[in-house]
């Protein structure tokens, strides 16, 4: 019996795509306005994933200057071409250069600068035919022109140019927002998968097949092969945007996004990466559903899923899980033996710019964050924030002589009366539950409650539709030393 716990990559890691080279599996996810872009993970068993870096870690690859929240990098796809022994990652910078791909021999190493593909739309993917020919497919967006919703054509992988005019292909079963197309070849048949219904409660995965790459495609009689739209009270919602993979043992899997709702219709962690086995029924792949937090699969090899309930960072060097908001001014960040010395640049968390920001995705519903920090400058502020976007964050703000508790929810900005303190150095403890945050300050070993907030204040549903999730963020407009941080994940304890 194989047992494992979903999500396999918790927190704001949406739009997963996966590929395999031999015994190694690699997975990428969307990153939107955060830098570096496109986190990449490695696994040997499809259950346990370790982040090995980011694909886009240079500004020459990823320009995020002044982009709005939830723009930037959408829906990457990763593929391995055995003809070249080369990995490809294709994606869209929605506010800058559009569709492009980069390549690497080693997914954990340096990736190339972008090669642009002259086709609009989002959610691109690549299919390598048996002879090594590369075919590019993306969402065509304008269904009044392209009734299928998708365009595909062969490209030159050196230039990104199309070798022939892209053609419309199968566009789903007619639901809203067709996206996330991928092509697979199995036993001589071509399968085209896509997501439909929008990345909300009606999200779904559909599939069709053909004897020819460019169709016509026959829709699967079991469509949708994945959806939780009929599971109103289920913890896991909005399942969709899948990618399929055959592992080294001949087993088939689907990775896909979903979110864990905290109360009906609300979620704040963002869309996460889930895993389900795939069964072939009458020549069609069908994803096991409903998808559960605790999965039990008979007849599969036993794999131990590793769980790290506590993580700590001393900020003596950059941390692979921590990211910047848009392109950072690296001169503001100094990683020292005493911690992260952060210098402000005038931008605040309310600005659509690149403030002095260092953030960690919240990847649990139940748990705690602890941060030790000190305001070094007489002017300015040091802030620890539960950050969703520029108009949705909950902040503890340290100024000289006082500490404040602030909430920004849309156009409402509320600051609780400041508390006078005699020190510039404090420890902050944030207790997280599915419905609330409680903020405690610890000064000279004395703990006191500073304030509480509802998680729904930083949820997607409380704001204009967004695609990201909540971060623990460090920020300053002056100069501050963030000495260390700790995260304690209690989700597994709650589930057992």
Residues marked as catalytic: 15, 179
**Would you state the structure tokens that stand for residue 136, as one six-digit string?**
């590019």
- For residue 451, the cross-strand partners are 439
Q: If you write DSSP's letter for every residue of 338-359 in order, what string do you get?
A: TEEEEE--S--TTSSS--SEEE
Describe the chain by its helix, strand, coil percentages, rounded to 5: 5, 50, 45
Count CB neighbours of 387 within 10 A.
26
8 Å CB contact between 415 and 404: yes
**Would you state the structure tokens that stand for residue 362, as one six-digit string?**
């919240």
Helices and strands in the chain, H and E counts: 1, 40
Measure the CA–CA gap between 365 and 158, rounded to whole angstroms.
45
Q: How far is CA 224 from the centre of its chain?
A: 24
Count CB neighbours of 5 within 10 A.
18
8 Å CB contact between 247 and 46: yes
8 Å CB contact between 222 and 252: no
Measure the CA–CA gap between 301 and 299, rounded to whole angstroms.
7
Element (H, E) at 481: strand 479-489
List the one residue out of 415, 414, 408, 386 whose CA is nearest residue 462. 408
Measure the CA–CA gap between 37 and 27, rounded to whole angstroms.
13
8 Å CB contact between 35 and 328: yes
8 Å CB contact between 293 and 495: yes
**Would you state the structure tokens that stand for residue 183, as one six-digit string?**
């092509």
**Would you state the structure tokens that stand for residue 7, as one six-digit string?**
């999500």
List the one residue out of 167, 80, 71 whose CA is nearest residue 119. 167
Peptide bond into 216 cis (omega under 30): yes
């Amino acid at each position: 019996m194989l047992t494992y716990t979903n999500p396999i990559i918790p927190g704001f890691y949406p739009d997963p795509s996966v590929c395999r080279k031999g015994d190694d599996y690699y997975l990428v996810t969307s990153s939107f306005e955060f830098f570096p872009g496109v986190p990449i993970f490695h696994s040997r068993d499809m259950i346990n994933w370790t982040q090995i870096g980011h694909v886009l870690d240079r500004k020459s690859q990823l320009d995020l200057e002044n982009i709005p929240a939830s723009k930037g990098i959408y829906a990457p796809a990763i593929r391995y071409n055995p003809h070249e022994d080369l990995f490809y990652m294709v994606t869209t910078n929605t506010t800058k250069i559009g569709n492009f791909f980069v390549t690497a021999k080693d997914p954990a190493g340096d990736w190339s600068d972008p090669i642009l593909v002259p086709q609009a739309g989002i959610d691109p993917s690549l299919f390598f035919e048996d002879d090594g020919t590369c075919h590019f497919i993306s969402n065509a967006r304008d269904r009044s022109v392209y009734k299928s919703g998708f365009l595909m054509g062969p490209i030159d992988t050196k230039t990104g140019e199309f070798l022939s005019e892209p053609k419309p292909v199968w566009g789903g079963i007619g639901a809203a927002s067709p996206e996330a197309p991928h092509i697979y070849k199995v036993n001589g048949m071509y399968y085209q998968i896509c997501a439909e219904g929008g990345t909300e409660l009606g999200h779904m995965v559909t599939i069709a097949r053909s004897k020819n790459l460019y169709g016509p495609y026959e829709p699967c009689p079991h469509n949708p092969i994945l959806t939780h739209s009929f599971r109103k009270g289920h913890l896991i919602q909005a399942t969709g945007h899948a990618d399929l993979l055959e592992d080294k043992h001949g087993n088939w899997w689907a990775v896909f996004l979903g979110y864990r709702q905290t109360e009906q219709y609300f979620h704040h962690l963002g869309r996460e990466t889930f895993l389900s086995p795939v069964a072939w029924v009458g020549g069609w792949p069908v994803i096991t559903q409903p998808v559960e937090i605790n999965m039990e699969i008979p007849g599969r090899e036993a794999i131990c899923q590793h769980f790290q309930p506590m993580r700590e960072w001393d900020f003596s060097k950059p941390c692979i899980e921590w990211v910047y908001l848009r392109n950072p001014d690296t001169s503001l960040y100094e990683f020292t033996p005493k911690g992260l010395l952060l210098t402000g640049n005038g931008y605040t968390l309310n600005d659509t710019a690149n403030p002095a920001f260092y953030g960690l995705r919240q990847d649990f519903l139940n748990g705690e964050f602890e941060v030790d920090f000190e305001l070094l400058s007489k002017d300015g502020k040091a802030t620890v924030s539960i950050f969703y976007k520029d108009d949705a964050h909950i902040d503890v703000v340290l100024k000289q002589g006082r500490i404040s508790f602030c909430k920004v929810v849309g156009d409402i900005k509320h600051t609780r009366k400041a508390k006078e303190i005699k020190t510039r150095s404090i420890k902050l403890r944030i207790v997280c539950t599915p419905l609330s945050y409680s903020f405690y300050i610890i000064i000279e070993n004395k703990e006191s409650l500073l304030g509480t907030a509802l998680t729904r204040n930083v949820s997607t549903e409380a704001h204009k539709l967004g695609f990201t999730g909540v971060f623990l963020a460090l920020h300053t407009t002056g100069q501050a030393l963030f000495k260390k941080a700790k995260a304690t994940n209690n989700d597994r304890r709650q589930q057992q």
